[in-house]
Amino acid sequence: MKLKNLHIENIRSYKKLDFTFEDGVTVISGVNGSGKSSLLEACFMGLFGSKILSKDFVLADVIFKGAENAKINLGFEHLGQDYLIEQAFRYSSKSENASNSKCVLYANGESIVDQATRTYEEVCSLLNMDEEAYRNCAYIRQGEIDVLINAKPKDRQRMIDGLLQLGKLEEYRERAGSAKTAVRRLQRDTSNSLSGVKAEIEGIESTEPHAVLNGLRQKIKESDTILKKCNENKEAAAAQKEKLDLMITEHRERLQEIQTLKQALSKSQEDKAGCIREKEAFAREAHEQRQALLGLEEENNHIRGECGFGDLEIEALSLQKEKEEFLAREKVNVISKELALLLREEEVHTQDLRDFENEKAETEQSLMQCRADIGATNGEIEGNRKNILRIEDENKKLKEAAKETTGFTDTYEIPLFINELEEKESLLRERKNEASTKLALAFKEKETGDINLLTLDKELQNTKVAVRKSKTEIEILEEELRENEKAVLEVKEQKSEASAGLKGLGFTGEQLEDLEYLSELLLENKNRLHGREKELEATLRELDKVIRKNRQLLAEGKCPTCGQDLKGSEIACTTGESEQKREKLAAELLDIKLQQAEVEKKLNRLKDAKKLEKRISDYDLETERLKNKAKDLQERITIHKTRTEEDSLKLEGLNKQKEELEAKMGKLLPDIKALQGWEAAAQKAHGESERVLQEAKAFEKKLAENTSEIESLNGKIRTSLALIENYGQRLGELNEKLKGLAERETQEKEKLKTLEVELEALRKKEALAKETHDESSKHLLKTKKLGANLIQMDNIKHKISELEASIRNLAEKVGFFDREILERNERVKQLEGKLQGSRFEDLQSKRTQLEEYQANLTEKTRQTTAAKDALLKEVGMVENSLKRRNELKDELKALENRKQYLEAVYSNAEELESMYMRVRADMRNRNIGALSTLLNEMFSFMYTNNAYSHIELDPEYNLTVYRKDGTPLEPKLLSGGERAIFNLVLRCAIYRLLALGFGGDRADGLPPMILDEPTVFLDRGHINQLLKLIDMMRGIGVGQIIVVSHDESLIDSADHVFQVEKDPITNMSSIVKL
C-alpha cells in the first residue's frame, strides 16, 4: 500500500492543504506546535474516520476553530488498485457538537461504499487490520514508547494474533467449543424430554379416557332435559309478572297525578290571594298620588299671585324673566370691566413712580461710588511704582550673593552658566554610580558565595543522611527478603494440606477439570426432580379430592342428580383405580425425594471441592506474588547499594567544592574595602556639585520671578490709568440721568390724581347695577319653580293612570284563578273514582310471589348449568388428554430422531475444536519463534551498547531482556532511551513478521511506515543506527517511510524534505517542500 495524495480543509491548524506523497523516505520538519503531527493524524483519520479519537477528545476538537465544515480526502494505491476516501464533517455552533456528514470510498473512480461504518469495515478488510493494529505496527506515535512494553502478555498476544489473523482460529475454536457445550446441553435436554414424554403417555393411557368420555356425555344429555323444562316455566312466570307490572305502573301514575293536581290547587289559591293583596296596595298608592297633585296646584297659584305673573303661559314667562336677568348681568359685567381697567392703570402709574424713585437713589449712589473708585485707583498706581523700585534693589543683592556662592560674574549669561554646572554634576554622578555598582556586585558576589557555602553544607549533610538511610534500608530489605522466603514455605505447606483435602473428597485431576460440567449436570438433575416432585404433589392433591368426593357419594348410596344406585357403578370402579394410582404416585414421590437428598449431598461435595480448588489456585497466585516480591526486593537491594556508592563519591566532590569556594571568598574582602573608599570620595564630590547647581538654579528662578513681577506691576499701572479715564466719563452720564428722572416723576403724580376721580364715579354706577340684577334673579328662580311643579303634576297624572290599569288587570287574574281551581277539583274527583276498583297492596303481594317462584327456577337452572359445565370441562379434559397423547407420540418419534442427529453433531464439533486448537498452537509457536528471531536480530543491529545479550519472547508473550551476565530484566526497568530503542525494534520486528505473513520477506501489502519524533530519548550514536534501520526497512520493500523530526541527520539522509510553518497572526499552518 502507498499513500498518493491528501486534501484537507479546516482540520486542526490547516485551513486548506493539498499534499502529494512520494516514494522513499519523507521527512517533515518544523518548530514545535507548527502542525507536523496534525498532518499525520489527518492521514490516520482519513483512513479510519472518528474511530481514531481517544476518550479524551471529541470530533469537534479536530475542526478548525470558527469553521462549520471540514473535509479530508485521502488517495492511496493498494495491490494494483487506486482508492480514494472522502470524509466530510459538520460542526454545529448551537449544540457545540460535530458529526460525520459524508464518508465515501471510491475504487478506480467508482463509488463502492457511501456510509461511515461500512467504509470503516471495508478499509479494515483491505488492510487486514483495524486502527489499533495500525497503531501497533505501522504508525509509531510520538511519546508512545511504553505502550507495547507495558502491555499485559494477553493484550500483546491478542494484538499480534489479530495482526496475523490467528484470532480467527481462536474465534473458530471457541465457536466449536461453544457448539459442543450447547449440543451436550441439548442432548441432556432431549434425553430428559424423552423420559418425560414416555411417562406422560403412560399416565394418560392408565386413566382409560374413552370409557370416562362416554359416561360424561350421558350425564350431559340428562342435564339438557332438566334445563329445557326450567326455561319453559321461567317464560310463563315472566309473562304473568309483566302483566302485573303494567297494572302496578298504571295505579302509581294515577296516584301521582292526583298528588300533582292537589299541589297545583294549593298554588293557584296562593296566587289568587297574592293578586288580591297587590290590587289593594295599588289602590292605596293611587289615592296618595291624587293628594300630592292637589298640593302642587295650590303652590303654583300662590307663586303667580305673589310675583304678579297672572295667567301667562309658563314658556313665555320663563323667556321674559331670563332675558331681564341676562341684561342686568351684562350691565354689571361691563361696569366691572371698566372699573378693573382703571384700577390696573392706577397700579401701573404707582409702580412707575416707585421705580423712578428707586432709580434716582441708585444713580446718586453710583455717582458717589465712582468718585471713591477714582481716589482708590490713584493710590494703587503709587503703591505699584514703589514695588517696582523695591524689586530692582532686590535683583542687585541677588547677583552679589551669587558671585560669592557659585562664582557667577556679569560676563556670564545665566543659561550658559547653568548648563556648565549641570554637565559637571552629571559627570560626578556617573562616577559615583560606577563606584556603587562595582561595590554592589562585590557584595552580591560575596552574598552568592555565602549562599553557595550554606547550600554545600546542607547538601553535604543531606548526602551523609542519604548514605546512612540507604544502609538502613538495605538491612530492612534483606530482613524482608528472609521473611518472604519463610512466607513462601508456609504457603506451600497450606497448598499441600488443601490438595490432601481434595484427594480426601475423592476427586482426581481429570474430574477437577470438569467440576463446572458436573455441577451443571447435578443442578439440572436437581431442577428436573424438583419439577417432577411438584407435579406429583399436584396430581396427588387432585386424586385425594376425587377420592373424597366419590367416597361421599358412595356413602350416600344414590346419585343426587338422577337418583340411580351407585353400587357397582362406574364411580365405584373409578374410586378403586384412583386409590391404586395414588399409592403408585406416592411411592414414586418418596423415591424422588430420596434422589433429591442424594443429589444435594453430591452438590455439597462439589461445593467443598470448588472451595479447595479455589484455595489451591489462590495459593499458587500467592506463591507467584511472593516470588515476584523476592525478585523485586533483590533488585531494590542492588539499587540501594549502587545509590550508596554514588552518594559516597558525591560527598567527596562536595567537600572539594567547599574548600575552593572558601578560598575565593577570602580574596574578595580586600577588594570590597577599596571599593567602599572610592564610593565615599565620589559621593562627596557629587554632593558639592549638586549643591552649587541647586543654588544656581534657585538664583535663576528668583531673577525670573522678579522680572515677571515688574512686568505685572507696570501692566496694573496702565490698567489703573485707563479706569480713571472711564470713571470721568461715567460721572457726566449719571448727572444727566438724574435731571431726566426728576421731570418724569412730576408727570406721573399728575396722572394719578386724574385716575382717582374717575374711579369714584364708576364704583357708584356698579352698586346700582348689582341691585337691579339681584331683583331679576329672584323672579327667574320663581319662574323655574313654577315650571318644575307643572312637570311634576304631569308625571303624577300619568302614574295614576298606570295604577288604575294595573288594578283592572289584577281583577281579571283573580277571575282566571277561580276558573282554574274549579276545573282541577273536578279532575281530582274523576281520578279518585277510577282508583276505587283495585287495591295496590294485593297487586304487590302477587308480584312478590311470582318473583320468589322465578328465583327458585333460576337457582335450579344455575345448579344444573354448573353441573353441566363441570361435565363439559371434564369431557374437554378427557378429549385434551386423548389429543395430548397423540401429540406426545408424534413428539416421541421426533425426539428419538433428534437424539441421533445431536450425537452426530457433537462428534463433528469435537473434531473441529481439536483441529482448530492444533492449527492455532502450531502457527503461534512458529510466529513466536519467527518474531523472537527478528526481534533479536534487529535489537543486536540497533543497540550499540554491549550490556545486553539477547531478548526472550516466551510462549505466553512475556518479554525479557538478558544482560551479558545472564541477569533477566523486565523491559519497563530499562532507561528512557533504552525503552525507545526497544519500542522501535519491537514495532519493526512486528512489521517484518507481518511482511512474512503476506508472503515472503516483502512488505508490498502493508501500509507505509510512519515515525513521529523517533529520535526522542536517543543519543547521537543510536540516531545513526536508526538511519541504518530505516535503510533496512526500505530494503525489505517498505515503499514509503514518513518521518516527523527536527534531527538534521534524518533531514540530510531523506529523499524528500518538507517544512511546516504556522502564521502567528492567523494561527494557520502551511507546508513547503525544501
Give the contacts of 125 (CB within 8 A, at least 6 positions apart): none
Task: Say if CB 353 and CB 753 are below 8 A apart.
Answer: no
Binding-site entries for Zn(2+): 559, 562
DSSP run (H or E) holding 404: helix 314-406
Task: Say if CB 521 and CB 663 are below 8 A apart.
Answer: no
CA torsion sign for 687, 690, 692, 698 is negative
Binding-site entries for ATP: 12, 32-38, 142, 973-978
C-alpha cell at 902: 445431536
Please give the distance of CA 818 from its chain centroid, rounded to a whole number: 87
How does DSSP classify residue 835? G
Task: Say if CB 29 and CB 1058 are below 8 A apart.
Answer: yes
Give the CA count within 13 Å in the CB-facing half-sphere of 495.
15
CA torsion sign for 555, 556, 558, 560 is negative
Instruction: Sort strands 14-20 and 2-11 into parallel, antiparallel or unpaired.
Output: antiparallel
What are 73's strand-pairing partners?
7, 86
CA distance 1072 to 1074: 6
C-alpha cell at 1041: 517511510
Please give the distance of CA 81 from its chain centroid, rounded to a whole number: 48
* Of 767, 1069, 879, the residue nearest 214 (C-alpha): 879
C-alpha cell at 734: 449719571
- φ, ψ at 604 (rounded to 5°): -65, -40
Task: Say if CB 275 and CB 867 are below 8 A apart.
Answer: no
Q: Is 370 exposed, middle or buried (0-12, 13-18, 19+ CB in 10 A)?
A: middle
CA distance 4 to 120: 19
Task: Please provide the distance, in angstroms rounded to a whole number, between the alpha carbons at the two ends of the chain.
Answer: 26
Binding-site entries: 12, 32-38, 142, 559, 562, 973-978
Number of H helices, E strands in the chain: 15, 15
**HEC letters along 290-313:** HHHHHHHHHHHHHHHHHHCCCCCC
**Residue that the C-alpha cell 470438569 belongs to:** 514
* Of 1046, 971, 1039, 1056, the residue nearest 1014 (C-alpha): 1046
Please give the distance of CA 618 from its chain centroid, rounded to a whole number: 45
Please give the distance of CA 311 from its chain centroid, rounded to a whole number: 100
- What helix, strand, coil percent values describe the chain, rounded to 5? 80, 10, 15
Give the CA count within 13 Å in the CB-facing half-sphere of 74.
24
